[in-house]
Structure 1
Amino acid sequence: MKYNELINKMTLEEKASLMSGKDFWQTEDIQRFGINNIFLADGPHGIRKQAEAADHLGLNESLPATCFPTAATVANSWNQQLMETMGEYLGIEAVAQKVNVLLGPGINMKRSPLAGRNFEYFSEDPYLAGKMAAGMIRGIQSHGISACVKHFAVNNQEERRMVIDTIVDERTLREIYLTAFEIAIKEGNSKTVMSAYNMLNGVHTNENIHLMQEILREEWNYQGVVVTDWGGSNDRVAGLLAGNELEMPTTAGETDQEIIEAVKSGKIKEEVLDVSVDRLLDLIFTTEQVYSKPYKQEFDIEEHHRVAQKVAEESIVLLKNESHILPLKKGVKAAIIGDFAKNARYQGAGSSIVNPTKLDQTLDVLGESGFAIVGYEPGYERYGKQNRKKVEEACELAKKSEVILLYIGLDEATEAEGLDRPNAMIPQNQIHLLDALHRVNPNIIAILSCGSVVEMPWIDKVKGLLHAYLSGQAGAKAVLRILSGETNPSGKLAETYPLRYEDTPAYRYFPGKEVSVEYREGLFIGYRYYDTANINVRFPFGYGLSYTTFEYSDLEVGKDGVSFSITNTGNRDGSEIAQLYVGCQSGSIFRPNKELKGFVKVFLCEGEKKVVNIPFDDKTFRYFNVQTNKWEVEEADYSVMIGASITDIKLKEPLFVKGTGAPLPYEEEKLQTYYSGKINQVGIDEFEALIGRKVPVSTWDRTKLLGYNDTIAQCQYAKGGLARLAFRLLSFSYWLLKKIGKRELANLIMMSVYHMPFRGVARMTGGAINMPMLDGILMIVNGQFLKGVRHLVKERKKLARRTKGKK
């Protein structure tokens, strides 16, 4: 241990006090040892340090910061160096605001297009997500502070996120859901990891010895700090035993006392606590060094805004360009239609929301485009309400123009932390507008703004489609530069766009509605499913158009990697993203047809040719063998492929790879669906054969009393009449708020109340309600009204006396 001498001087009480926050965002301090509190702030794509009273839900405004494009957007750049640069600028702003730990990046896999937090995550592919995250982490931590990679692990739905039990087989866990974390931690050297809210195979992630000790600490040799997601601690002592150093936010000393009692009783050795204290002290002391000398408390707003624009320009994806309608010529008569042109949709909602230093709106920066603008009409109501008059006015404007720039997408209330989307469609009123516009002027270029996959049955009615994703505070100008041709689009999709949601691999298994969610699709998420099962899609993984063309040639495959040439055969300078895919030709172990194992982004001037090298690494040929419980290599012939997308393979060569000689992990006859790759209807018997045990009952036991890990939603069948009434009032409030257009407030109820477990009432109130008081609440919920009230009042008085005694 680094700080053994210091730790030996500390009392048990002092050591325990460091294991929980001082308040909502700060750690505890011990001034007699010079241990300062450090500040943790949200920040996947911008710093969210709240100026006034702190809250996790983002209700209070934060200090101004640059709002960079979200992870779902920058993943489309496929540019690790750009990601590192963005991280560096995030680090500058974090230091300026005296933040020690920036809570990002988020790298959970995009298992389903409907997962409400997809805008915060990079990709459906773990290799791409891990590489992009590692770059961002290196950039942030280059300034001496810490990044915090999250949410560890398999946190892939928002509904019941604090209690849902994720049932997943070990191979899928390792190859799909942990590989991105492995890359981010080993290559990015993240100093902090955030544990997820959910359970994993029956155990809360921050208490999961297999996840936290055997994999994270022992296999990956992680030496940093693990922090809970806010309010995500269940059993504090079990979490500490698993190596979860820091619980956030504060519990006003309640869980500190649990640790103290556990040490005194012998339930946990003090040496275990000492190791956790040592890791936390290292985080505190190393991230405080930057503030021990003069540091910049301001940053160049304009420079950071320009960087945000550059990131957006590299990340926006051109999806359709019929008859080369783009780029638009100077002086073209253009109608601007769509509410998002006036009020940009540029970031997500929830804990990642950033208060931008400035915000480009399309209508304000049109003068730089060179277009002859004939006017603007909103065309639709932002939150989905039909408005015939707005459609008619938009159509009248469209008749006067040569081309329509139509700004459409998803609103802020549809994509938000805490709830999943109900469907994969953009609002019907926007589609209705598009239909009407097409009848009067077919020259429509749609600019799509959303952070997650949407269906596009309307795509035949647009000639051009530019996907801006959520491109940050400078996104409007970035879009116009691509439309005008000042910037050649170079983004490619980091996720697949299916023809319809029903085609997605997790369609029948997402989300888990009650106790658990079963990952029956196994390895076959995203392109791994579509490509293997030969499912047609709207746009494949890795797809994106350019204003120039590229030719691939001269593939050479060696034992250490591949080399090939790319030539810009068009008449514009541009960047191409070349992708390395590998496919095993043996059928002995089920696998996807192709898997991404490398990529590179290459800039080429008009007519230029470059030789490109992509090395193999330890992940190129490996698979996780559930018999040996190790990474192995199957001895076989492999196809090594270079593609412009998963479906557009340009070059291909075979390669024989010597294996590790491991026994075959599966009996094929028991897993025939997985061997076929057509996993859209996996039966319970086959899934149990895959995971090697019985699947737990996935529905609530409506006969039992409600406890700490049951949710407010379960009050619908509580024994206490008052609890059932409260549930009905809550449900009615949600319905009414949506009906009257207060969708963000309705979402807040769903996120912060409806799916909250009862223990969260104690964990998220900063000690205002403790666990003994919660016991009284549960008595009321379970039908013991008078006894519960008496208990609640008694414990409230006890807490008040203790609080008064500390002052």
Structure 2
Amino acid sequence: MVSKMSLAEKINITTGTGWQMGPCVGNTGSADSVGFPGLCLQDGPLGVRFADSVTVFPAGITVASTWDRDLMFKRGQALGAEMRGKGVNVMLGPAMMGNRMPAGGRNWEGFGADPVLSGVAVGETVKGIQGEGVIACAKHYIGNEQEIFRQAVEARGQNWAVDEAISANIGGRALREIYAWPFMDAVESGVGSVMCSYNQINNSYACQNSYLLNGLLKDEMNFQGFVVSDWIAQRSGVASALAGLDMTMPGDGRVFADGGSYWGSELTTAVLNSSVPLSRVDDMALRIVAAWYSMGQDSSSYPRPNFSSWFRLPQGPQYFGSDDIGKKAGITINNYTNVKSNHSSLARQIAAESIVLLKNTNNTLPFGSGSNARRSLMVLGEGAMGNKNGVNSCIDRGCNDGTLGQGWGSGSVEYSSFYSPLEAIQEKAREDGTLVSYVTSEADHNRIYATVASYPNSTCIVFASADSGEGYLAAEGHHGDRNDLKLWHNGDRLIQGVASMCKDTVVVIHAVGPVDMESFIEHPNVTAVVLANLPGQEAGSSLTDVLWGGVNPSGRLPYTIGRRLADYGPGGQVMYTPNHPIPQQDFDEGLYIDYRHFDKFNIIPRFDFGFGMSYTTFEFSDINIEVVKTPTEFLPTRNGTVQPPKINSTIPDAKEMLFPADITQIHKYVYPYLSSSSGITRDNTPQPSASTRSLVDTDKLFTSLLKVRAKVKNNGAVAGKAVAQLYMSYPNSTGVDFPVQVLRGFVKVQVEVNQTVDVSFDLMWRDLGYYDEEKGAWRLPVEGGKWGGYKFMVKSSSRGDGVEKDMNREDVGK
């Protein structure tokens, strides 16, 4: 197909048509002569953005809290089905951030602070999405750990004097063992596209960093799909093309909706004057077409977009961002296709199984029913009900009013329906004949206290929250990143005030990440604390499922909750003030983020990574280790060499690239054609051809080497789901600096009362190895020609109870 495309068509499918110049947030041109359509790229990681009749799924951080591979996959599958139903070709997700900083604004879109947990979630999500024929787009590659200073123009709009975007300065080992790890899982799962980020990495912009795109991603990881820029993240034309960028979005070059582009006609010129080899453009087009074919989107049954991101009436302009004839042309685009299916039940299950029970004094929870029901409930705080101005009243959810179901920004979705906690609690209360009183104005503390005083024997359910989002929006003084880890709206004061009067105070927190709980967590009247994450549209039903015991809580923390922000160390702090005209953010902590940092410096957290209580108790026992395959110290090279496909293309004459006479130009639409061919001269020096390369076989990183087995028993009175977490300590005699322990696997299983269930974990080469920066290679910690020396621990959390076993070097092979 690519060999039959004209140069104009190749550039057309690599260049976005411009902001709002098509139905989706990103639209490419087409290659009509060979039957390749323009592609629709659409946010976001928790549902179809800017669309009607869709499901708002729980956020990434919420599904990570389930620690359930099956739910991760099913959520991806449902997301893919809804995207396909709306005619989307590329879903802009899943998102992954390292969660290096607990106050990072977009942490909630990703899957927590551990690369293994995040990597599993990413891999399962990708497989689910692409199983429905939609191209997944793993983002943001890489080092996009905070919002402030991610773009210079954005920072200047906030009155910061910066010249360029922030540079995340990351060493080779941390890059691979922390930040690139989940992207490896995405590639291993066959992801079709990867989005490069706004920031710089080691003082080179992510979308023109050849080491990261050509080197780490396409060579080391053997990524076969296409790299697309974040929106207006491209900072050059020729340089980004040579560095490995394959598609530019939304097509506009310097600012949104200006109609100019670094590519389009500029890329045409660059090919004609030999600045960019034609083979590079062939490679761009080939990667895009290959992803399209790989998902089966060449089928005539694959739908075209049936919605508009820009208007809600059935008919509207085809090119909404234009200001000439393109704006006036009316087409039917919004068909109001309902793609929700029965996904609300899945969303409810995910949200319920993500809920983390942090405190439960004297079995306050679950609430009883029937004759054991609470006689009176007080529901307090605006987090109990939907936004009083309408659940979609804030642009891209850029406010924290009512129940916090999702963060803000391009990763948000408009609610088609929303079931609030107050509605769900009232429904349960009607079944039990329970009195429910409520005050949802958090600012009216006097009324809250007077209401509590009127019902002295009530159980009080207090709602509090902490929000964050993307940097182009600010909410209540937070420019994307949180200013601290405090609850918003004086949540601490509200909880303390209610607890001082109510002896049975249950706290429900909806939050984007860790929150400081020190002011109330040990209060004797705070009898239960429930972390409900970001539940999406089923906020109410999922919460009452757990509060009333219909679902035994099985959520576990995907991050550490410290006692104070300083506990996370210097690397855990957002840079709020620039330290240079080009802000420099040195990741000097290396591997030591979140629980690894707490372990290294022996800091006692409030709640450790992986923590979560249940209405029952579990016991782990009988760990054993089986060697599946004996590895070499270093990875082998790939069999044979890597030879890029040959496309028999020729560079056309410049005059062939002039605007065709039969095209009516639409203002601000990005075209591949030239207005004039004058001044374009070709360098007749032979262009470099793609070299044949002999590369390390990084696929072998995913070779199984060990199997660890253990048993888990339910010693309690009710059935529940246990989360068996496998941690590993490296050999300590090799002279290499290793964390105290690292997560290397997890299994979630249903265990009936008095039942014992077997769990097993497969450990791959990557799990047991590390990246040697001096050698520039992955290796195993071999000593004296022998490998082994690891310790394995199966337990309830990073600092929880469990069982452990050493794997001595001399035992290997027995």
Tell me, in whole angstroms, the C-alpha distance in 2 between the residues paired with 1:28 and 1:533: 53
Pair 30,493 (structure 1): closer, same or farther in 2 beyond 3 Å: same
Work out whether 1:248 is the aligned partner of 2:249: yes
Residues 393-423 of structure 1, C-alpha deviations (whole Å, 9 max, x = no match): 44335x3443111111125665999621111
C-alpha deviation, 1:253, in angstroms:
5.6
Tell me, in whole angstroms, the C-alpha distance in 2 between the residues paired with 1:125 and 1:361: 31
Letter in 2 for 1:219: E
What is the aligned partner in structure 1 of residue 604 from structure 2? 536
Pairwise CA RMSD: 2.3
Work out whether 1:378 is the aligned partner of 2:386: no
Deviates more, 1:401-410 or 1:288-297: 288-297
How many pairs were matched up? Answer: 637
Tell me, in whole angstroms, the C-alpha distance in 2 between the residues paired with 1:146 and 1:392: 52
Unaligned residue ranges in structure 2 (runs of 5+): 20-25, 152-164, 253-258, 307-336, 387-402, 469-473, 628-705, 783-787
Pair 210,139 (structure 1): closer, same or farther in 2 beyond 3 Å: same
Tell me, in whole angstroms, the C-alpha distance in 2 between the residues paired with 1:387 and 1:305: 34
Structure-to-structure mapping, 1:476-487, within 5 angstroms: 476-487=540-551
Tell me, in whole angstroms, the C-alpha distance in 1 between the residues paired with 2:478 and 2:625: 44
C-alpha deviation, 1:512, in angstroms:
6.5
What is the aligned partner in structure 2 of residue 154 from structure 1? 143
Deviates more, 1:241-250 or 1:300-309: 300-309
What is the aligned partner in structure 2 of residue 554 from structure 1? 622
C-alpha deviation, 1:291, in angstroms:
6.0
Pair 481,138 (structure 1): closer, same or farther in 2 beyond 3 Å: same
Pair 509,435 (structure 1): closer, same or farther in 2 beyond 3 Å: closer
Pair 473,522 (structure 1): closer, same or farther in 2 beyond 3 Å: same
Tell me, in whole angstroms, the C-alpha distance in 2 between the residues paired with 1:625 and 1:294: 46
What is the aligned partner in structure 2 of residue 624 from structure 1? 771
What is the aligned partner in structure 2 of residue 566 from structure 1? 712
8 A Cα contact 1:496 1:539, kept in partner = yes
Task: Look up the SS of the partner of 2:270 in the other structure.
Answer: helix
Structure-to-structure mapping, 1:464-503, within 5 angstroms: 464-503=528-567
Task: Look up the SS of the partner of 1:349 in the other structure.
Answer: coil
What is the aligned partner in structure 2 of residue 304 from structure 1? 343
Tell me, in whole angstroms, the C-alpha distance in 2 between the residues paired with 1:404 and 1:236: 59
Pair 180,31 (structure 1): closer, same or farther in 2 beyond 3 Å: same
Tell me, in whole angstroms, the C-alpha distance in 2 between the residues paired with 1:486 and 1:290: 45
Question: Which residue of 446, 465, 468 corresponds with 1:409?
Answer: 465
C-alpha deviation, 1:15, in angstroms:
2.4
Task: Look up the SS of the partner of 2:448 in the other structure.
Answer: helix
8 A Cα contact 2:9 2:30, kept in partner = no
Task: Look up the SS of the partner of 1:619 in the other structure.
Answer: helix
Structure-to-structure mapping, 1:175-186, within 5 angstroms: 175-186=177-188
Task: Look up the SS of the partner of 1:214 in the other structure.
Answer: helix
Work out whether 1:440 is the aligned partner of 2:501: yes
Tell me, in whole angstroms, the C-alpha distance in 1 between the residues paired with 2:489 and 2:278: 60
8 A Cα contact 1:622 1:633, kept in partner = yes
Tell me the percent identity: 29
Pair 91,212 (structure 1): closer, same or farther in 2 beyond 3 Å: same
8 A Cα contact 1:109 1:125, kept in partner = yes
Letter in 2 for 1:378: V
Task: Look up the SS of the partner of 2:612 in the other structure.
Answer: coil
Tell me, in whole angstroms, the C-alpha distance in 1 between the residues paired with 2:288 and 2:556: 40
8 A Cα contact 2:467 2:512, kept in partner = no
What is the aligned partner in structure 1 of residue 166 from structure 2? 164
Pair 460,228 (structure 1): closer, same or farther in 2 beyond 3 Å: same
Question: Which residue of 54, 59, 62 corresponds with 1:73?
Answer: 62
Work out whether 1:421 is the aligned partner of 2:482: yes
What is the aligned partner in structure 2 of residue 449 from structure 1? 510
Task: Look up the SS of the partner of 2:14 in the other structure.
Answer: coil
Question: Which residue of 129, 140, 148 corresponds with 2:118?
Answer: 129
Question: Which residue of 344, 347, 360 corresponds with 2:419?
Answer: 360
Tell me, in whole angstroms, the C-alpha distance in 1 between the residues paired with 2:774 and 2:368: 62
Tell me, in whole angstroms, the C-alpha distance in 1 between the residues paired with 2:288 and 2:360: 53
Tell me, in whole angstroms, the C-alpha distance in 2 between the residues paired with 1:625 and 1:573: 45
Tell me, in whole angstroms, the C-alpha distance in 2 between the residues paired with 1:67 and 1:501: 31
TM-score normalised by structure 2 residue count: 0.75
Tell me, in whole angstroms, the C-alpha distance in 1 between the residues paired with 2:16 and 2:560: 40
TM-score normalised by structure 1 residue count: 0.76
What is the aligned partner in structure 1 of residue 216 from structure 2? 215
Letter in 1 for 2:170: V
Tell me, in whole angstroms, the C-alpha distance in 2 between the residues paired with 1:488 and 1:328: 12
C-alpha deviation, 1:585, in angstroms:
3.5
Structure-to-structure mapping, 1:502-651, within 5 angstroms: 502-506=566-570, 510-511=574-575, 513-514=577-578, 515-559=583-627, 560-587=706-733, 588-635=735-782, 637-651=789-803
Structure-to-structure mapping, 1:31-430, within 5 angstroms: 31-48=32-49, 50=50, 62-162=51-151, 163-186=165-188, 188-251=189-252, 252=259, 254-255=261-262, 256-287=264-295, 289=297, 292-293=300-301, 298=337, 301=340, 303-330=342-369, 331-332=373-374, 333-343=376-386, 344-366=403-425, 367-368=427-428, 370-378=431-439, 380-381=441-442, 386-397=443-454, 399-411=455-467, 419-427=480-488, 429-430=490-491
C-alpha deviation, 1:185, in angstroms:
1.5
Residues 508-537 of structure 1, C-alpha deviations (whole Å, 9 max, x = no match): 753263321111211100001101211010
Tell me, in whole angstroms, the C-alpha distance in 2 between the residues paired with 1:174 and 1:157: 19
8 A Cα contact 2:271 2:277, kept in partner = yes
Between the two structures, name the one with larger relative contact order (CA 8 Å, sep ≥ 6): 2
What is the aligned partner in structure 2 of residue 22 from structure 1? 17
Task: Look up the SS of the partner of 1:334 in the other structure.
Answer: strand
C-alpha deviation, 1:496, in angstroms:
0.4
Deviates more, 1:334-343 or 1:536-545: 334-343
C-alpha deviation, 1:4, in angstroms:
4.4
Letter in 2 for 1:340: G
Pair 339,371 (structure 1): closer, same or farther in 2 beyond 3 Å: farther
Deviates more, 1:470-479 or 1:424-433: 424-433
Deviates more, 1:304-313 or 1:279-288: 279-288
Residues 573-598 of structure 1, C-alpha deviations (whole Å, 9 max, x = no match): 11101111111241511111000111
Task: Look up the SS of the partner of 1:375 in the other structure.
Answer: strand
Tell me, in whole angstroms, the C-alpha distance in 1 between the residues paired with 2:475 and 2:752: 41
C-alpha deviation, 1:428, in angstroms:
5.6
